[in-house]
Structure 1
Amino acid sequence: MRNRVFNPIGTVALVTGASSGLGAGFARELAERGADLVLTARRQDRLEGLAVELAEKYGTVSTVIPLDLAAPGAVAELVADLHTRGITVGTLVNNAGFATYGTLADSDPVRLSEEVSLNVTALTALTRALLPDLLQASRAHPAGAALVNLASTAAFQPVPKMAVYAATKAYVLSFTEALWYETRQSGLKVTAICPGPVDTEFFEVAGRSADSYRDLLTVADVMRTTFTALDRASTPPHAVSGLRNSVFAQVAGRLPHRTVVTVVGRMNRSGPTA
């Protein structure tokens, strides 16, 4: 068993998009490490099922708050609910997000607006609202408080036919790395997790098939990347899940920009990049 530096026992972790996939994976790992949970997503039945599972397996107390964070005023509603319940968040996992696939000219403008609202606006607002609590928790529980934002390997280059999604994830990566620097003396662990394609509902929501990908990451792969980063004494500002993805991200930063966009555009004809 690897050395577990990140120890959230005695704290509460808020996971957005917790009803399935990576969100449920984050909730399970945090519960296994001793944190109580706040689970939020749109699907109340799935959240309640997960809460029961975590209670039975780990003795975790989970607060279920069904909410669509892309809706106007949703973040303020969530924060107010937390304050009413007297919940102080020590770890925030901004996992909620989705992708759209297709050329911009053919995309639904309402859906694109929702994509930006959830992937960027809600993530930023929730981080800002809870950051004072996270910093307080980092002082009270050394190595027990964290901010984890889900970015993507799409953050490292433009992605034709997923132009908005890649741009939102580039924002998440840049935003998180800046916060990593701003909070570096606080003890708060801050990192952006950048997976490649993962075997979740991502492709179904994006309206594409995952069949073109032979080596999809698993939820367990991404959890391993995330908590290995958090277990480091000095948590890195970002972590890429998967060796191939890590190499591609590094290469993309060294090649001419036009070449990278052309290559990614050709690769993305048959399916999205997660």
Structure 2
Amino acid sequence: MRRTVLITGASAGIGAALARTYAAKGWNLILTARREGPLTRLADELTAAHGVTATVIPEDLSDPAAPERLIAAVAARGLTVDGLVNNAGFSRVTGFLDTDLAAHRAMIQVMLTAPVELSRLVLPGMVQRGFGRVLNVASLAGQMPATGGDTLYGPIKSFLIKASQGLHLETLGTGVHVTVLNPGYTLTEFHDVNGSRDQVSRAYPAWMWMDAARVAQIGYDACEANRASVTPGVMNNVMAGLARVLPDGLALKMVANHARRLERL
């Protein structure tokens, strides 16, 4: 029997890479994002390549009603969510004061509220059936000091890390695995969307960047192994470790200096 995984933000980037990884492992897919066209093309690709069933359900998770509507749409199709990948997200780098309230509200809804609600909607069934997988895509930013400009992104990801760790502990022994994936700089469309591609590409050497397919495989393997958290890449783990041991003042100064360097590029 094939399991079925629901992946949010599946139209591009790490979300699409995770869809390819799960399909290669024999999972059927439920793909959701705002853009139907890319989802349909990805579904066709993966069905042809792996013989899996790929269901497309477009949804805008910035709508507070979207999580319940999405799960209702899944149930209406007679599908069961055996795995959930909370991947949808974006960032704002124009500054807290220069970004309007509606955009902040949408960011919190998509990246914080929606993962919590979707997890709460599907986890009871997973526990009852004795099988489930939840993979939350956070970020190295959630393990680092907060940065000015992209003010909410790191704190939201930090919340997701802590919430995932709590769920991991709460579901131990139930057959449900909960893992949080913390990618660093990854080659995807993410930085093109938020307009920072040129700056970050010049700020970081090529060896610091990871391929989305590799990041997805690491996340998948960690979730199957029921690891609470995984951060891909040696350098990313070094940076996260330094952030934990450095005094707050020094860590904040380091991050602030880096942010100023990006602004000068």
Question: Which bracket does the TM-score occupy, shorter chain normalised?
Answer: over 0.9
The one-letter amino acid paired with 1:20 is A
- The 5 A counterparts of 1:145-224 are 145-156=132-143, 157-209=145-197, 210-212=200-202, 213-214=204-205, 215-224=208-217
The worse-fitting range, judged by mean Cα deviation, of 67-76 and 204-213 is 204-213
Match of 2:243 in 1: 252
1:270 CA displacement? 4.6
- Choose which of 250, 255, 261 in structure 2 pairs with 1:264: 255
- Cα distance in 2 for partners of 1:53, 1:131 equals 29
- Cα distance in 2 for partners of 1:22, 1:97 equals 10
- The 5 A counterparts of 1:221-232 are 221-232=214-225
The one-letter amino acid paired with 1:53 is E
User: Given that residues 182 and 232 in structure 2 are in contact (C-alpha distance below 8 angstroms), is that contact kept between their aligned partners in structure 1?
Assistant: yes
Tell me, yes or no, if structure 1 residue 20 matches structure 2 residue 12.
yes
TM-score where L is the length of structure 2: 0.92
- Cα distance in 2 for partners of 1:231, 1:16 equals 19
The one-letter amino acid paired with 2:37 is D
The worse-fitting range, judged by mean Cα deviation, of 208-217 and 60-69 is 208-217
1:204 CA displacement? 1.9
- Cα distance in 1 for partners of 2:17, 2:180 equals 16
The one-letter amino acid paired with 1:79 is I
> How many equivalent residue pairs?
257
1:271 CA displacement? 4.4
Q: Which ranges of structure 1 fall in alignment gaps of 5 or more residues?
A: 1-8
Secondary structure of 2:201's partner?
Answer: coil
1:79 CA displacement? 1.1
User: Given that residues 119 and 168 in structure 1 are in contact (C-alpha distance below 8 angstroms), is that contact kept between their aligned partners in structure 2?
Assistant: yes
**1:110-144 superposed Cα distances (whole Å, 9 cap, x missing partner):** 2111111100011111111111122244x2x5xxx
- The 5 A counterparts of 1:1-274 are 10-137=2-129, 139=130, 145-156=132-143, 157-209=145-197, 210-212=200-202, 213-214=204-205, 215-232=208-225, 235-271=226-262
TM-score where L is the length of structure 1: 0.89
User: Given that residues 160 and 261 in structure 1 are in contact (C-alpha distance below 8 angstroms), is that contact kept between their aligned partners in structure 2?
Assistant: no
**1:162-207 superposed Cα distances (whole Å, 9 cap, x missing partner):** 2100111011001100000100121211110001111111112222
Identity %: 33
User: Given that residues 20 and 46 in structure 1 are in contact (C-alpha distance below 8 angstroms), is that contact kept between their aligned partners in structure 2?
Assistant: yes
The one-letter amino acid paired with 1:42 is R
User: Given that residues 146 and 189 in structure 1 are in contact (C-alpha distance below 8 angstroms), is that contact kept between their aligned partners in structure 2?
Assistant: yes
- Cα distance in 2 for partners of 1:27, 1:45 equals 15
- Cα distance in 1 for partners of 2:176, 2:262 equals 37
Secondary structure of 1:105's partner?
Answer: coil
User: Given that residues 100 and 207 in structure 1 are in contact (C-alpha distance below 8 angstroms), is that contact kept between their aligned partners in structure 2?
Assistant: no
- Cα distance in 2 for partners of 1:270, 1:35 equals 43
- Cα distance in 1 for partners of 2:252, 2:34 equals 34
The one-letter amino acid paired with 1:251 is L
1:231 CA displacement? 4.0
- Cα distance in 1 for partners of 2:191, 2:240 equals 21
The one-letter amino acid paired with 2:122 is L
